[in-house]
Amino acid sequence: MPDNPLSLELLDDRTAYYPGEAIEGIASWVFPHPVERVEVHLCWHTEGRGAEDASVVETVGFDHPPPVGAKPFRLSAPAGPYSYDGRLIAIRWTVEVVAAGVKDVAQMPVTISPTLEPFVLPAT
């Protein structure tokens, strides 16, 4: 039995996407018992000063999956917020796989930006 029963693979090992572009991959799992649901989330969170914020912007779910399985998924990179690296705050995007009743999570950081790089404000 693997340490983490969940795994995630992105198509062509890509981790940077233009807004509106498809984020495609395969979610895999190996459970010792049945679970009710496996979900793939596209989410962002902030890091840095102040209160952290987070949001799940899209979910693809698989009800009553077999204990061992893999499913392709397709998410859409939203128009914003863009990935951002600032002095006081950063916005990070993640694709994650979760399962009902399972504490483990498989995560993959991704960048969403028109330049395929996080925005960085120039020093003043």
C-alpha span between 47 and 59 (Å, rounded): 22
Q: CA distances (Å), 32 to each of 26, 55, 88, 98, in order?
A: 20, 30, 43, 15
Give the integer Cα–Cα distance in Å for 103 and 123. 41
pLDDT greater than 80 at residue 124:
no
**Domains of the chain listed by start with CATH number:** 6-112 (2.60.40.640)
pLDDT digits (tens, 9 = 90+) for 68-121: 999 999 999 999 999 999 989 999 999 999 999 999 999 999 999 999 999 997
83/96 Cα distance (integer angstroms): 16
Q: Are 7 and 40 in contact (CB under 8 A)?
A: no
